[in-house]
Structure 1
């Protein structure tokens, strides 16, 4: 098998990818006939439970689940799989405790659900932080997709990121949530097929599994590896928090028919998330054995240059599908928040214009991350920073549902603002003292809300004493 591609091989790969993009985009456009208004564009209407389960998990099976996991496993071992596998815990807990509550509320934005408890001020703060987190996710997604595209086409990562952004933006703006959901079924299939092909090729290049297990240090195959318990715990906490507060999950639940269907969809998502993480992690240790001197970000895409162009085309489809599915979920999530929390309340457009404006905003959202691509310190680090931000929102949401004495909108809003600023500063300082930004994002809102509760309680007691 060739280790570089000539013009003919590149033509084959590009043709396969372009045909796939055209086919899935046309299918998505065809599905638009079911989208008659902005509400259907955002929620997709009632859909099968399995489809919703795939949709719920689609934001999490992105480049962090393939390129990013392989990148981390290249240096830290199979333990990198925990970065995705622990999401299953989040989906199980979400299905048991929160899915019914969100489904009963009937609002398709996380900010709207929070507003039921804390008021409109907290709604806006929640929306801004969620938008910030989702745009950060998209930056990491473009980097991961660009790494693969640049490897195949022999172009710079910057140029590949621009191509990835343009293509995905066209795809997302072509249809609403229903289109995305059905096209994601196709993407989901190719994600798994693509990773499976890379594993087989890696085993062939390595001469079998025994060579890999004997040729690498033992920590590559331990549950903790060089990741460390602290990081794994941080991943678990961040993943649970992200599942509890992810905008796309709330939108997907709006498409369930009953509360029991919301639970089933969550459990399906929990089952689907585990295999892809383990598979991608194994790709990383294959790369470590076969190509020990490459940059870690190339741990997954390097195999594309060592297989036939036909197989490389299918694997590239899998990576493209990963990017498309993930970007479509986050872009629609941001679009929903911008429309419902800012554009419609303040500009009050005509109902007939809602759908057009939603598509325009989705284009802007899709292109916005491009200038920031070069500043991403690492795909997984960036993804988990975004999840840390969402974890702070989940703290507020869980307190609102299960701890009613934390009822102050001021405390919730201040907690979110301080958590976002504190977690961001901590992340950009490189997580000092080895403390992950996830812990900062979770503890700060709890501390602020607790102080606010104590102050309000003392003020109330003082007023009651004075009146007595």
Structure 2
């Protein structure tokens, strides 16, 4: 039995388990609301962990440990920014969005919510926001397919072209079969696997070095600057890294988890669970990269793969430190991170095509059964497009992924916040905010990128100004809009007394 056999077996068992969950979710899916929002039935635990798992992709187990391994603790500012942003999102957006979407025509998607919240008869908000979701998330999905293919290629030596289909097939299967419930339930399993992998690996790395003090001394002997949080960073660079947290307010795949919660009263508990999970996972990822510096300094004969590519530090530590069967389970954590993010992005794209184009413009009175099957077909369509884009992993299209977090954050984030917190926001203000946010991100990235400021910050700022100015220049929102807002806000406040 080769060294890869236990890992292969654990991967296969894991993938079959995810597909089996998809079949259970299929039996609980009775209508389109179930398929794309789980019938608003998620409890605190599933809401929290599915929001976390859908947010944290393979970056958590590869990108972040790799950055820490190469540059030291100065790369951890982004983790701090994400923690602050996620906490504020749970605090100000989660509960209110759950209530407001229900009061606004029981909206099932973000474009649907914007349309009813602002009584947009022209449906411009629906079209523009759905197009933004489709373009950015299709590219995002392609990057997820590439990450899965790279994992299979690197772990088992499978040719990239085959690994592409192997990595994508399992995710497509359970999303196609079970929809939102399958995605949420599998996300919960995947989040559990991710936190296990991230906590146990740095602990075993420290034990292999002797103890905590020895590990720190070894890192310091390599370079004292590894401990310097400000190494090589300007004020603008730190602000840019912290600015990643602004993206949370506009990420559709995270916001939809809030919309699916069983009750607004479940949100505070979900926030506590979700934030504890996130802080532990990010701490584990930072620790894996940090103590990886010491481990490979002490074992230079094993350091070839990580010196060539720092992002392999977590994978290599796992392979070296653990029994192959345990290593297989832990490496499944990387697959879990990739699959959890890809699955919810596929579903958000499917719901945008089905609810915001097919039902809104083509078949307004389509039956629930028809919508569920159209949703499934849209999952396949988006997946095929993503696989085609991913066929060339060096494609310039995939370079656009860096726009996606900033694009969603700036285009949707301010609109979501103002729609929930400011009754005076108008349809034209929301549309202006979306356009200004999206355009600013693209223009800043291409023309002013040399300034070093992450484009989400000016995008978010200018979008917010546009919403306020255009709203104040226009007429007051209608009495029915204001009444719905007040009723939803009262329900939210009553639930939090």
Q: Distance in 2 between matches of 1:266 and 1:389?
A: 25
Counting only pairs closer than 5 Å after superposition, residues 11-160 of structure 1 correspond to structure 2 as: 11-45=5-39, 46-105=41-100, 106=102, 107-115=107-115, 116-117=117-118, 119=120, 120-155=123-158, 159-160=162-163
Partner of 2:380: 363
**TM-score, length basis structure 2:** 0.80
Q: Distance in 1 between matches of 2:396 and 2:223?
A: 26
CA contact (8 A) 2:34 2:180 kept: yes
Q: Distance in 2 between matches of 1:345 and 1:50?
A: 33
Partner of 2:344: 329
Q: Distance in 2 between matches of 1:318 and 1:430?
A: 38
1:61 Cα offset (Å): 2.1
- Give deviations 1:335-358, integer Å, cap 9, x for gaps: 222211111112214432111111
Q: Structure 1's 159 and 303: CA in aligned 2 closer, same or farther, altered over 3 A?
A: farther
Aligned alpha-carbon RMSD (Å): 3.0
- The SS at the match of 1:90 is helix
Q: Structure 1's 26 and 388: CA in aligned 2 closer, same or farther, altered over 3 A?
A: same
Counting only pairs closer than 5 Å after superposition, residues 433-452 of structure 1 correspond to structure 2 as: 433-449=451-467, 452=470
1:382 Cα offset (Å): 6.6
Q: Distance in 2 between matches of 1:428 and 1:323?
A: 29
Structure 1: segments with no counterpart, 5+ residues: 1-6, 458-468
Q: Distance in 2 between matches of 1:98 and 1:179?
A: 24
Q: Distance in 2 between matches of 1:168 and 1:209?
A: 39
Structure 2: segments with no counterpart, 5+ residues: 297-302, 476-497
Counting only pairs closer than 5 Å after superposition, residues 285-364 of structure 1 correspond to structure 2 as: 285-289=290-294, 290=296, 291=303, 293-307=307-321, 308-348=323-363, 349-364=366-381
Q: Distance in 2 between matches of 1:158 and 1:225?
A: 40
- Give deviations 1:53-85, integer Å, cap 9, x for gaps: 111212122212111212222333234344344
CA contact (8 A) 1:70 1:284 kept: yes
Matched, 1:237 2:231: no
The number of equivalent residue pairs is: 448
1:429 Cα offset (Å): 6.6
1:35 Cα offset (Å): 0.9
Partner of 1:168: 171
Q: Distance in 2 between matches of 1:163 and 1:143?
A: 11
Counting only pairs closer than 5 Å after superposition, residues 188-203 of structure 1 correspond to structure 2 as: 188-200=191-203, 202-203=205-206
- Give deviations 1:163-188, integer Å, cap 9, x for gaps: 32223212321212222222222212
1:271 Cα offset (Å): 2.1
1:454 Cα offset (Å): 7.3
Q: Structure 1's 306 and 357: CA in aligned 2 closer, same or farther, altered over 3 A?
A: same
CA contact (8 A) 1:304 1:315 kept: yes
Q: Structure 1's 453 and 172: CA in aligned 2 closer, same or farther, altered over 3 A?
A: closer
CA contact (8 A) 2:237 2:452 kept: no
Deviates more, 1:196-205 or 1:330-339: 196-205
1:147 Cα offset (Å): 3.5
CA contact (8 A) 1:70 1:283 kept: yes
1:22 Cα offset (Å): 0.7
Q: Distance in 1 between matches of 2:360 and 2:85?
A: 33
1:14 Cα offset (Å): 0.9
Deviates more, 1:445-454 or 1:187-196: 445-454
1:110 Cα offset (Å): 1.9
Counting only pairs closer than 5 Å after superposition, residues 230-269 of structure 1 correspond to structure 2 as: 230-242=236-248, 244-269=249-274
